Structure formats: C-alpha cells, structure tokens
Amino acid sequence: MDSRPSDLVLDSRIQVEFSTTFTYRFTVQSTVSSPRHVRRRLRKETWQVVKLLGSGSYGTVSLQKCLTSEGKVELQAVKMIGKAVVSDGIDYFKELEAIAKFSQKKYEGLFVEFIGWYENDDSVFVVMEYLEHGDLDSHLNAPMPESEAREITLQIAEGLKLLHENGFAHRDLKPAEQNVFVFHKGPDWWVKIGDFGFSKRITEKDGLQTWVGTPVFLAPEVQMLYPFGMNGDDTFSHYTEKVDIWALGVITFYMIFHDYPFTPKKPIGLLQYIQGAEIYTVGN
C-alpha cells in the first residue's frame, strides 16, 4: 500500500494485546497530583466481543464490552477490516482519516464518534461509539410521515455539506449496512452518518471515477448514464461529490414511499428518466 497514515490517524492509534478470547487495550490516564504536576499512567482494559452487529463496506462490525470498567457498562462498536481489501483498491488509512477528522468536536452530533483504532497482522480494527438503535433501514418498515422524513433528510444534508466543504465525498450513502445510524428514534429523530469505507478526497489527482456504492443508490453519472447529446467518453468519465446528494434523494424517496424510485420492475427506468420521462411514483 502506497499511502501512509496522517498524524491525525497515528495519534488515535490504541496500544493493544490479543488473546484467544479478549483484547487488552492500554489507554493513558492523567491525574493531577498537585497544581503543577500531572501524572500519566497506562490503564489496562479488557474487552470481549458480545455479538456481531452487521457488515459494512469491506468489513464486519461487532459489539464489544469492557469487562474492567468501573460503574456504567462500557459498550463500543468495532469494525474489522481485512488488510487484504487493499488489493481491491480500498485504503483503510483514508477511512481512518475521514472518521477521525469528522469526530472532532466542531462536527459533533452529525457523524458516528470515532474512539481509536488498532491492528494485527491481518486486520485493522476501528473503534466507534455504539448506537443501540442500529441503522436507519431497520426502522423503515412502512412509509414515514413527511415531517419526520424531512427532519432526517436535513440532518444528513447538514453532514454532507460539511463533508463536501472539507473536500470529501462519501460515495456509499444509504440507510442500511452501518451507513446511517439512529441515535434517537422518532418522531424526534436524530441520525448520524457512518461508514467511511468508500469516502474519498475530491481533490485527489485521479478524481472520482471508480464505480463504487450500492446500485439502487448510484447516481446516473456513476453508472455512466447520460442525457441525449452526452456520452461516456473521457470528458464525462469523472463525477463529483454531488453523487451523495442523489443518494440522499433516493433515501428520502424511500422514507416517504417505502419504495425505490428506480428498479428493474418500474415502468420508467433511470435512463428514461434522465432523458426526459416523468418519474413514476406510488399511486400513479
């Protein structure tokens, strides 16, 4: 792998030891012994996997519990990314950089909180806050009131605005598979954006041109579908961060109608739509 971790990523690395059953994490604790002296010591924590929560982009997510916590039970979500995925063009250091950056206090409440990371010879482990309500998709069992869908859409849009202003595109936005999490259930929804596995800096030299994401949420330009008069030559082979806005539109449509705007079974397909056909909606 050619890339190197940034200082932000290196500073968030957690020292660990592994056993067959537990992961031992060593964290620095500071105590003030006098007005002028701060003592630092390593605290050894014992963590155990409780259950598998699900899977995301090129990784599985498990729930882990701290067996040595004092008082309140400590639970965290840990995403395991196999290092072999690098051969598929996925750079886990970029995911770490993105999630670490957007866990800073000025972005609080919009993104899943990043706690740190560690690794062994085969995998990288990303430690995040555990959100007990799971991802948004698990709550979308029927059409949602427009007022609630609007609130969720605004929250995701606010997060995307900050991503894009900082030069990042998410590229795999969807309500399922650990991408949009529910912090507080409706009717007063509070959601957070997660899973930066496919995120990419828009300013990188090769731009955005790789087909990544989930088909039903992919913007036309990612699929190289164009209106009349445009084609898929090199002029149009790149796309922008606006593909995230398309994905958000699909999520909003699904929340309101409990259906996707474009599927193989719909009378109006995506290509027909971008070439001028009216979109088919439920009840038409």
Is the pLDDT score of 135 beyond 90? yes
Can you give the pTM of this predicted structure? 0.83
Burial class, 77, CB count within 10 angstroms (exposed 0-12 / middle 13-18 / buried 19+):
buried
104 versus 267: the higher-pLDDT residue is: 104
pLDDT (mean) for 124-141: 94
Is the pLDDT score of 237 beyond 90? no
pLDDT in tens, 5-59: 889 899 999 999 999 999 999 988 777 666 667 777 888 999 999 999 987 556 7
Catalytic residues: 172
Under 8 Å between Cβ of 115 and 126: no
- Other Cβ atoms closer than 10 A to 49: 14
What is the rounded CA–CA span in Å between residue 70 and residue 154?
38
Domains and CATH numbers, the chain: 7-129 (3.30.200.20), 136-274 (1.10.510.10)
Closest CA to 211 of 94, 99, 88, 126: 88
Q: Is the CA virtual torsion 183, 14, 68, 105 positive or negative? A: negative
The beta strand positions in 67-179, using DSSP E, are 75-82, 114-119, 123-129, 168-169
Q: In the prediction, which pLDDT does 247 show?
A: 95
What is the rounded CA–CA span in Å between residue 59 and residue 61?
7
Three-point CA angle 19, 21, 27, nearest 5°: 60
- Virtual torsion, Cα 14, 17, 19, 25, nearest 10 deg: -40
163 versus 237: the higher-pLDDT residue is: 163
pLDDT band at 1 (very low <50, low <70, confident <90, very high): very low
Task: Kindly list the distances between the CA atom of residue 222 and the CA atoms of 3, 14, 74, in Å, as whole numbers in the listed order.
Answer: 25, 37, 41
For the chain, give the mean pLDDT.
83
Tell me the two tokens of residue 53: 């929560």
Q: In the prediction, which pLDDT does 99 show?
A: 86
Helix (H, G, I), strand (E, B) or coil at 24: strand
